[in-house]
A and B are shown apart, each in its own frame.
Chain A
Amino acid sequence: MAQEDIWEQVVQLLSLHGHEKLIVMKDIEGMITFTYYNDLDKAAEFYGGTLGFEEVMNRDWVKIFKVGKDSHIGLVNADKGYLKPQAEKPVMLSVFVEDVDAWYKMLEEKGVKTNHPPQKGADIDMRGFLTWDPEGYVIEFLTFDTKPYGE
């Protein structure tokens, strides 16, 4: 039996038992959060230079940085992007780090604006602080003191 046929049978079986979620979950492999800039070079300097994220794609109008194993942030310029930069930005990028204090110290030393030193969250056992990229997208750095789920 061809591999596709076997997969089709698995899908049918899971569907019969109400496990469609397993099917959908299976094949997503990673994520990019795209944000939109008037000054792309300045934004790229912030993510690549100041934060030190690894650049994995670089075109004149879009730059992608890796943030952890399978997450990325993509910076897009105002001309070619499907969306345009806006003053209002109802989105926050939270980044899990091993050592939130070290990140805070590094950003302080680089003169990057933050809201306060790492503080404990009210609802979840974590410590974090906020910073802003050059056009005002909010970024949170946090360390979970107790992992909220999983290992």
Chain B
Amino acid sequence: MELDGTITFFYYKDLARATRFYDEVMGFERVIDVDFAKVFRVHEGSHVGLVDGNVGYLKYMESKPVMLSWFSDDIEGWHKHLKEKGVEIEKPPEKQGYLEMKTMLFRDSEGYLLEILQWLKKTYGSK
């Protein structure tokens, strides 16, 4: 029962605007591009997918009880990069008390919550 990877799909009112965010701000590689959906590769088997929430299986909605968190070794570099791109930072990088890590929160073009997380001490394995 092998697991190879994932796509986390989000649903947008304005797909073109969301696509620009993941292209230009996040700089992810766009690996699938069809009219109503775009899939970006984040790293190896991890992907994020953007779907036209006017026509997709799910629709865009106001409430979004989901957070996408990416591990990085350079949270400060990401903070600088996002500020330069004009992204509003919801919580700047800070150390969390409950685990050996620093986290930063921001939102994409329609308010999905995104996190960059840097382990100060890895919690398990090498990745």
Contacts and interface: CB of A to CB of B under 8 A. Distances in A.
Interface string B41-85: 111111011000100011111111111111111100100010000
Please report whether the interface of chain B is mostly helix, strand, loop or mixed according to DSSP: strand
A68 B44 CA distance: 10
Contacts, number: 179
Contacts of B53: 90
A24 B87 CA distance: 15
User: Interface size for chain B: under 10, 10 to 19, 20 to 34, or 35 or more residues?
Assistant: 35 or more
Contact of A97 (B2, B8, B11): B2
Contact of B5 (A68, A73, A106, A124): A68
Contacts of A68: 3-6, 45-46
A22 B93 CA distance: 23
Interface of A: 20-21, 23-25, 27-36, 52-53, 56-57, 59, 67-71, 73-74, 82-99, 102-103, 106, 123-124, 130, 138, 148-150
7 contacts: A52-B1, A87-B63, A88-B65, A91-B58, A91-B64, A92-B58, A103-B1
List of 5 A-B pairs having minimum Cβ-Cβ separation, nearest first: A24-B27, A31-B46, A71-B6, A86-B63, A96-B4
Given A24-B26, A32-B68, 8 more contacts: A21-B27, A27-B73, A28-B42, A56-B123, A70-B127, A71-B46, A82-B113, A92-B9
